[in-house]
Amino acid sequence: MKAADLARFIDHTLLKPNATKAEVEQLCQEAVQYGFKGVCVNPSMIGYAAELLAGQGDVLPIAVVGFPLGASQSSTKAFEAKEAVLAGAKEIDMVINIGALKVKDYEAVFQDLLAVIDEVRPVPVKVILETCYLTRDEKVIAAALAKVAGAAFVKTSTGFAEKGASEEDVALLKAVAGEGLEVKAAGGIRTYEDAVKMLKAGATRLGSSQSVSIVTRKEK
């Protein structure tokens, strides 16, 4: 696959806490220029990103919710997601309740997912699992819960934890997801080679802050 062809799979991402409007403007300009699938920003910037992208093609404004810990109350996550959609978000990337999952409180995890998914339906929701904190069984259960709750994607990582996406995790999540749920790989995807590995493992969306260097890689 040519490097430029990867753009349609990538959410061009800027989630650092000190991101400025000027940087979001650059992010959106790059997304339009290179044809990225979306731009992923913090909720306070989603209205600005949506405004910049209006009439500029098909680039999706995407907001994170409950980010990066997933430890907010479900009602808070749902409100944050609704406000993001009202501000122009076309997709939501939410963090799962990791602590509840770790103690096997699957009802709490499921209700947390439903709170957000139902609040913004039919806007697609990606569920961030933060796989580096989970056992294999926990990854499987989390993906299954996300699928039953009506998520559009399961996503590996926030990019804020010790580790990001791995080929093994992407393949595992794809095996659980089947046809009804897609997989987004994020966290540590910095090169063309990283991106291709994740797609081959089963991801259909990638999140990266290094998107431009990935798609402008010189062909060998």
In a domain, 220, yes or no: no
Cα dist. 94→156, 168, 201, 205 in Å?
11, 22, 22, 15
Residue range 147-173: mean pLDDT, rounded:
97
pLDDT of residue 38: 98
In a domain, 165, yes or no: yes
pLDDT of residue 220: 52
In a domain, 127, yes or no: yes
pLDDT of residue 190: 96
Residue predicted with more confidence, 217 or 192:
192
In a domain, 154, yes or no: yes
pLDDT of residue 180: 86
Residue range 111-125: mean pLDDT, rounded:
98
Residue range 117-133: mean pLDDT, rounded:
98
Residue range 183-207: mean pLDDT, rounded:
97
Summarize pLDDT for 93-110 with one digit per residue, the tens: 999 999 999 999 999 999
> Is residue 219 very low, low, confident or very high in pLDDT (cuts 50, 70, 90)?
low
Percent of the chain with pLDDT over 70: 99
> Is residue 4 very low, low, confident or very high in pLDDT (cuts 50, 70, 90)?
confident
Q: What contacts 156, CB < 8 A, 6 or more positions away?
A: 128, 129, 130, 131, 164, 165, 166, 169, 170, 173, 183, 184, 185, 186, 187
Q: Which positions are annotated as active-site residues?
A: 93, 155, 184
Percent of the chain with pLDDT over 90: 95
Q: Which residue range(s) make up the domain with 18?
A: 3-215
Nearest to 187 by CA among 100, 134, 129, 137: 129
Residue range 160-183: mean pLDDT, rounded:
96
> Is residue 217 very low, low, confident or very high in pLDDT (cuts 50, 70, 90)?
confident
In a domain, 26, yes or no: yes
CATH number where 177 lies: 3.20.20.70
In a domain, 25, yes or no: yes
In a domain, 39, yes or no: yes
Arithmetic mean of pLDDT over the chain:
97
Summarize pLDDT for 155-165 with one digit per residue, the tens: 999 999 999 99
In a domain, 111, yes or no: yes
Please tell me the total count of domains within the chain: 1
Cα dist. 50→3, 17, 39 in Å?
26, 19, 9
> Is residue 1 very low, low, confident or very high in pLDDT (cuts 50, 70, 90)?
confident
